[in-house]
Structure 1
Amino acid sequence: MTDQPLPLAGIRVLELGHVVMGACCGLVLADMGAEVIKVERAPDGDDTRRFGGFGQGLFHFFNRNKQSLAIDLKSEAGQDVFRKAVATADVLIENFGPGAVERLGFGYEDCKKINPGLIYCSLKGFMPGPYEHRPSLDNLVQMMGGLAYMTGPTGQPLRAGASVTDILGATYGALGVIAALRERDQTGQGQNVRASLFEATGFLVGQHMSTAAITAEPLPPMPEGENPWTIYELFETANGDQVCIGIINDKHWAALCREMKLGVLAADPRFELEAGRREHKQEVISSLRQEIAARSTAEVLAACDAARIPFAPVNRPDELADDPHLNQSGALVDTVLPDGRPAKLPKLPLQMKDQGFALRNEPPAVGEGGANFLREIGYSDQEIADLVSAGTIVQPGD
């Protein structure tokens, strides 16, 4: 590791966001060194602190390396505090519903008057257009954006197994913020950066839009479509585990047969070349399934690795914490869960020189770090105490 400052050190970000999209954009900037102040609703903080089910891990994952300012933005005193915060910020992120921040008096035009150099990042369901008035969610745009159709079988659209459009839209928002900061270095002026769920989903399925345009035909869902390669399938081992194997050229086929000792298949002239394997797809896939089903998972994985072909076991998310590659590559960070138990979670998936984008502080409690931030922007201890007494801001333990 190096003592060199992180790339975004010295950049102050107000994250006026909630749930995933705003929090993820703030996470990307925070991990890269920005000072991120998570502006939460007083007195209870962000709703994801209390989510159940699949949402239980959202707050802890998306809010490391931040401080919390829990504030009543509907009060006159709270709005005055926030205006002073805006005046000191480099970036403001917001992902509230259409018109919500404008009704509070903190839309882009309002904040621009306070701080002309502010980079104001609006994360929405839709870009300006016929749909921009609609509230939206990750699941909904996966449906209307074609992603769910391409993921599930015909008649059963299926959302992806993670908040992919929230995360992608947030990442594009962060990319726009960084580009706008670079532009501000040259012009001195801030701007309104926009990113959205629906347009991010459109980008995700752009490859399918391109294929449909070329073929002039509607596409089937991916589970039912034709892969570019004959052998690009899930196979079950003798242990009952699933392994995905991709044979994308004839050298791969020869190598797999060699390492798995598939002499009969290797000698079959029908399967030697990709054209033959495609012509006799049912036979080659069926034969390969039988061979793999007779071998242990360890044998299959070792043979694929030795053959240097594309392959992957099917893992659950909880298994990734023990993955030897993720641990050795430094992709995981040690964290402490709210109940005190240790855990490993993914870092920002980037490497830059010796930067590790490490955990600097755990996700904050409601209001944790808020008082220190207010001191930095000019509030005295007595003024902060008065704000706490009035319920304008909340500190941990209040």
Structure 2
Amino acid sequence: MSTPPLAGRRVIELGSMLAAPFATHILSQLGAEVIKIEPPIGDPTRALVRGGPSGTFIAYSHGKKSMCLDLSRPEGREALYQLLMNSDALVHNLAPKAARKLGVSRVDCERVNPKLIYCHIRGYAAGPQADDLASNPVAEASTGVMEANRVNGRPSRLGPSYHDQFAGAYAVIGILASLLRDQQTATAEDRHVEVGLYETGLHVASRDLVAVQLKQHLLGRPEREPHGEFAMPGYGAYLTRDERWLYLLMLTDGHWAKFCEAMRLPYGGDPRYATLKMRKKAREQVEDMVRNAIAAHDLDAVQATLKSHGVGCTEVLPLERVLEAEQAHQPGKLRTVEFRGMGFDVPEFPRAGADSDGIGTIAPAELGEHTREILQSLGLGAEKIDALLESGGVQAHKPGSFAWAAVRETA
């Protein structure tokens, strides 16, 4: 069993919702000790489902310790600063104005610990909108994603908060890059990691943004590429005879030939459909061929046939069936997490050796569950700890907080 790459590193999270908690979740799964700092009202994800913790909280906050601090009080800040003096990194996604108000700006934290890696995930990085608020949907709206994703003609968010999670992953990359530097010569700038949701959105959309410019150069006018699955006939979801959806991977001429062979269609060698360019010109005919071929079979049978001929395909699964797949239950794919007497199969951060590297976890913590333990680890005496707890700036767990409302009627 090897030593986890971030073993012995302490990371402080001042995060809410998703971006910062997702980043520290990854760091935790790489072996770091993560301490989640929350205000007395808790991270909003603690109360998203019938007044209690949500799937977001359980999935991305297991493995972390919880400390409850009221940073509007001097005692809360004092406790945080004591903690930062004994930590390697701080990750937060507070709004810039809130960070300054609560005393956790970059300047504040560098004053406390000059060697601290300071990671700020914010709406916008440096620029005229640096203090503007942004969220995942705002990033989608401002970087071209939302305009192309319409529901009944209205621009709509994608659903999952991918930009938050991309930003969290980019933050991890920045922190790891900082840790790789020679710490004897590293500067304050080397320890500063800043990720904007807006800038994350730009980077994720760069392929499409460059493609528009390419058409401007070639055609003299901006013109967007069609969505991938609509640009390539046979690449998309098709309904089977037993009314299940099968998603086909039809990217190349080789894929098309294999599909025709598997489905015993006479078009594999037909020169009218030999190349992708030709199939695009005959889009409607090709789509009809594929649609009718799939509709003539039940999903399990056609999927087996296609896979035996090397055609990429998969069933379009509803969430409640995703973890039924044998692939999902191979070693290192899922971890059982216990929370309030319930067991959850939580997907692991994907890495080689996840089933044998010895990186453990703890149940998602109740708010302030580890407050006293963490204060003791800082070398504070019982009298000092009691004084901090009595001040209200530092709080321990209160039993019964964030309970779920009843979900079943009793007989």
The answer to whether the superposition gives a TM-score over 0.5 is yes
Residue 390 (1) aligns with residue 391 (2): yes
**Which amino acid letter does the alignment assign opposite residue 350 of structure 2?**
P
- Map residues 1-398 of structure 1 onto 2, 5 A cutoff: 2=1, 4-42=2-40, 44-52=41-49, 56-152=54-150, 155-190=153-188, 191-216=191-216, 217-220=221-224, 222-223=226-227, 227=231, 229-262=232-265, 264-266=266-268, 268-328=270-330, 330-338=332-340, 340-351=341-352, 356=357, 358-397=359-398
Tell me, yes or no, if the aligned pair for 2:3 and 2:357 is still in contact at 8 Å.
no
Does the CA contact (< 8 Å) of 1:8 and 1:33 recur in 2? yes
Provide the C-alpha distance between the structure 2 equivalents of 1:364 and 1:55, rounded to a whole number of angstroms.
Answer: 11
SS in 1 for 2:212: helix
Unpaired runs of 5+ in structure 1? none
Is the 1:98–1:133 contact (alpha carbons within 8 Å) kept by the matching residues of 2?
yes
Letter in 2 for 1:122: H
Q: Deviations over 1:324-345 (max 9, x none)?
A: 112115322212244x232212
SS of aligned partner of 1:96? coil
Greater CA drift, 46-55 or 207-216: 46-55
Distance 2:347 2:83 in 1: 31
Computed over aligned residues only, the root mean square deviation of the Cα atoms, in angstroms, reads 2.4
SS, match of residue 231 in structure 1: coil
2: CA distance between counterparts of 1:73 and 1:118?
Answer: 19
Contact 1:347 1:358 in 2 (8 A): no
Amino acid at match of 2:369: E
Distance (whole Å) between structure 1 residues aligned to residue 276 and residue 93 of structure 2 = 49
Distance 1:279 1:392, change over 3 A: closer
The 1-side partners of 2:108 and 2:277 are apart by 63
Contact 1:142–1:148 (8 Å) recurs in 2: yes
Q: Distance in 2 between matches of 1:124 and 1:379?
A: 33
**Which runs of no fewer than 5 residues in structure 2 stay unpaired?**
400-411
Q: Is the 8 A contact 2:167 2:195 kept in 1?
A: yes
Deviation, 1:219, is: 4.4
Q: Does the 8 Å contact 2:45/2:56 carry over to 1?
A: yes
Identity %: 25
